[in-house]
Structure 1
Amino acid sequence: MRIGGLATGMDIDELVNKLMTAERIPLTKMQQDRTTLTWTRDAFRDVNLKLTELDNMFLDMKLSKTYHSKTISSSNENAISATATAGASNGTYKISVSELATSEMTIGGKIAIDPNEKLSDKGVKATHYTFTTYDKDGKPQEQGFDILPDDTLNTVLKRISEVDNNVRMFYDESSNRVVMETTRTGIYNTNGGSEVEFGGNDFFNEVLKLGTGNREKHVAAKNAVFTYNDNLEITSQNNNYTLNGITYNFKNTTTEPVLLTVDNDVDAAFDNIKNFVDKYNEVIDKLNGSQREEKYRNYKPLTDEQKKEMSEKEIELWEEKAKSGLLKGESIITNGMFSLRQSWYANVNADGKYKSITDIGITTTKSYLDGGKLEIDEKKLKEALREDPESVRKLFSNDEKGDNRGIVNRVQDSLSTIKSSIEDRAGNTYKTEENYTLGKRLKDLNKRISDFEKRLTNVETRYWNQFTAMEKAIQRMNEQSSYLTSQFSS
Structure 2
Amino acid sequence: MASNMRIGGLASGMDIDQIVKDLMKVERMPLDKLKQKKQILEWQRDDYRSMNTLLQDLDNYIFNNLTLQSSMLKKKVTSSNDSVVSATASASAANVATSIQVQQIATSAIWLSDENTRVDKSNFSVENDVTLTFTVTNGDGSSKQATITIKQGATLDGVISQLNNDPNLGISAFYDEQTGRVSIMKKDTGEKASIVLEDQDTADFFAQKLGFIGAVAGAELTGKTDGKDAVFTINGLPTSRSSNTFTINGVTYTLKSTGSATITTSTDTDAMFNVIKGLVDKYNEIISKINAELKEERYRNYPPLTDEQKEAMTEKQIELWEEKARSGMLRGDSILSSGLSKMRMDLYTKVEGSNITIGFSQLAEIGITTSSNYLDGGKLIIDETKLRQKIQENPDAIYRLFNNDSTNYSEKGIARRLRDTIKDTIGKIEQKAGKTIWTNQQFAIGRDLIQINEQIDRFEDRLKEIEDRYWRQFTAMEKAIQRANEQSMYLMNAFFGGSQ
Q: Give the shorter-chain TM-score range.
A: over 0.9
Which ranges in structure 2 are unaligned for 5 or more consecutive residues? none
2:241 pairs with 1:236: yes
Q: Distance in 1 between matches of 2:213 and 2:255?
A: 32
CA gap of 1:334–1:170, structure 2 versus 1, over 3 A, is: same
Aligned counterpart in structure 1 of residue 86 of structure 2, from 81, 86, 106: 81
2:450 pairs with 1:443: yes
CA gap of 1:211–1:95, structure 2 versus 1, over 3 A, is: farther
Amino acid across the alignment from 2:398: V
Aligned counterpart in structure 1 of residue 318 of structure 2, from 299, 309, 315: 315
Provide the residue aligned with 1:198 in structure 2: 197
Q: Distance in 1 between matches of 2:468 and 2:19?
A: 13
CA gap of 1:183–1:39, structure 2 versus 1, over 3 A, is: same
**What value does the CA root-mean-square deviation take over the aligned residues?**
2.1
Amino acid across the alignment from 2:42: T
Q: Distance in 2 between matches of 1:236 and 1:480?
A: 121
Map 1:99-114 to 2 at 5 A: 99-108=104-113, 109=115, 110-114=117-121
Give the C-alpha shift of residue 119 in structure 1.
Answer: 2.5
Q: Distance in 2 between matches of 1:471 and 1:213?
A: 113
Provide the residue aligned with 1:40 in structure 2: 44
Contact map agreement 1:5 1:471 (CA 8 A) in 2:
yes
2:294 pairs with 1:294: no
Provide the residue aligned with 1:2 in structure 2: 6
Provide the residue aligned with 2:62 in structure 1: 58
Map 1:45-444 to 2 at 5 A: 45-59=49-63, 60-108=65-113, 109=115, 110-114=117-121, 118-120=125-127, 125-135=128-138, 138=141, 140-164=143-167, 165-189=169-193, 195-198=194-197, 201-211=203-213, 218-229=224-235, 231-254=236-259, 257-350=260-353, 351-353=356-358, 354-400=360-406, 401-444=408-451
Aligned length: 478
Q: Distance in 1 between matches of 2:414 and 2:382?
A: 15
**Equivalent position SS for 2:31:** helix
Which ranges in structure 1 are unaligned for 5 or more consecutive residues? 190-194
Give the C-alpha shift of residue 141 in structure 1.
Answer: 3.5
Q: Distance in 2 between matches of 1:28 and 1:393?
A: 57
Give the C-alpha shift of residue 144 in structure 1.
Answer: 2.0
CA gap of 1:66–1:152, structure 2 versus 1, over 3 A, is: closer
1:145-168 Cα deviation digits (max 9, x unpaired): 222222122222212221112122
**Equivalent position SS for 1:487:** helix
Provide the residue aligned with 1:192 in structure 2: none
Give the C-alpha shift of residue 283 in structure 1.
Answer: 1.6
Give the C-alpha shift of residue 226 in structure 1.
Answer: 1.1
**Equivalent position SS for 1:141:** strand
Amino acid across the alignment from 1:356: Q
Aligned counterpart in structure 1 of residue 459 of structure 2, from 452, 455, 464: 452
1:388-409 Cα deviation digits (max 9, x unpaired): 1122112111011231111111
**Equivalent position SS for 1:119:** coil
In terms of mean alpha carbon deviation, does 379-388 or 144-153 score higher? 144-153
1:287-309 Cα deviation digits (max 9, x unpaired): 11102222222112122222222
Q: Distance in 1 between matches of 2:452 and 2:67?
A: 45
**Equivalent position SS for 1:249:** strand
CA gap of 1:135–1:102, structure 2 versus 1, over 3 A, is: closer
Q: Distance in 1 between matches of 2:143 and 2:267?
A: 45
Give the % identical residues. Answer: 41
Amino acid across the alignment from 1:355: S
Q: Distance in 2 between matches of 1:178 and 1:274?
A: 58
Structure 1 length as normaliser, TM-score?
0.93
Amino acid across the alignment from 1:36: I
Q: Distance in 2 between matches of 1:115 and 1:428?
A: 65
Provide the residue aligned with 2:474 in structure 1: 467
**Equivalent position SS for 1:94:** strand
Structure 2 length as normaliser, TM-score?
0.91
2:19 pairs with 1:15: yes
Q: Distance in 1 between matches of 2:95 and 2:124?
A: 62
Amino acid across the alignment from 1:386: Q
Q: Distance in 1 between matches of 2:123 and 2:369?
A: 73
Q: Distance in 2 between matches of 1:180 and 1:213?
A: 14
**Equivalent position SS for 2:195:** coil
Q: Distance in 1 between matches of 2:481 and 2:144?
A: 108
Give the C-alpha shift of residue 207 in structure 1.
Answer: 2.3
Q: Distance in 1 between matches of 2:338 and 2:122?
A: 76
Q: Distance in 2 between matches of 1:116 and 1:456?
A: 90
**Equivalent position SS for 2:264:** strand
Q: Distance in 2 between matches of 1:136 and 1:372?
A: 60
Q: Distance in 1 between matches of 2:279 and 2:61?
A: 7
Give the C-alpha shift of residue 130 in structure 1.
Answer: 2.1
Contact map agreement 2:440 2:449 (CA 8 A) in 1:
yes
Give the C-alpha shift of residue 263 in structure 1.
Answer: 1.4
